Amino acid sequence: MYLLALALAAQTWLSPVPGALIEQGFDPPAHAWGTGHRGVDFQAEPATEVFAIGKGVVTFVGEVAGKPVIVINHPALGLRSTYEPVIAIVELGQEVLAGTPIGETAETGGHCGGHCLHLGLKGSGKNDYRNPLPLIDHQYVVLKRSTP
């Protein structure tokens, strides 16, 4: 755990959509098969530019359940970030840094009430979903006000 903390501190992590409001936060299920929200949704209209959150290698560009998805492996940390729905401008095997443009949000395929970017973060286990927000430099994130 100590080594992971050192590695995280040494790397800059940025918002995938700088300045965007967060529509829905991370809410992991109690059990692997349960309901929950396994990532964070950033408010983003179609054609919004999306950026890599950290240094890594693009390991997947394609569709999952009809949605365009990008996966970036962060091997030094044993983490993978996922972005959907995003039309890629990056290629499989491409190395990226935090802040590298990777694509833009698609017109359709989001699961938000409006439009959004869903950012996921996984560890090495099959159901090892993580909250990406603690990694991100918060000067680039704006939390959405809750309405009474």
Cβ–Cβ under 8 Å, residues 107 and 46: yes
State the number of CA atoms in the 13 A half-sphere of 43 facing the CB: 10
Question: In terms of pTM, does the model score above 0.85?
Answer: no
Going by C-alpha positions, the residue among 123, 113, 56, 115 that lies closest to residue 86 is 115
Give CATH for domain 2-143: 2.70.70.10
Asked, as a colleague might, if the bond just before 85 is cis with ω within 30 of 0, I would say yes
For the chain of 148 residues, list the mean pLDDT of each consecutive stretch of 10. 45 87 71 68 92 96 93 92 96 96 87 80 84 73 49
Q: According to the model, what pLDDT value does residue 88 have?
A: 98
Domains of the chain: which residue ranges? Answer: 2-143
